[in-house]
Amino acid sequence: MKNGIQNSYKEVLQKRVYKTEQQLKYMSLEAEVELLLQRLKTVNNNK
């Protein structure tokens, strides 16, 4: 029984780590898009 609980716990942790990594990737991409939009606005304003 103990091994089953440990395996389940490991699976939960792995899923949490994966989810956290995905959230970080999303936030990073979101910030990059925001930066590119700001640059585009600056370029358009300087025309």
The helix/strand/coil state of 46 is coil
The pLDDT assigned to 1 comes to 55
Distance of CA 16 to the CA centre of its chain: 12
**Distance in angstroms (rounded) separating the CA atoms of residues 12 and 17:** 9
The pLDDT assigned to 7 comes to 84
The pLDDT assigned to 28 comes to 98
pTM summary value: 0.68
Per residue in 1-47, pLDDT tens?
Answer: 567 788 898 999 999 999 999 999 999 999 999 999 999 999 999 98
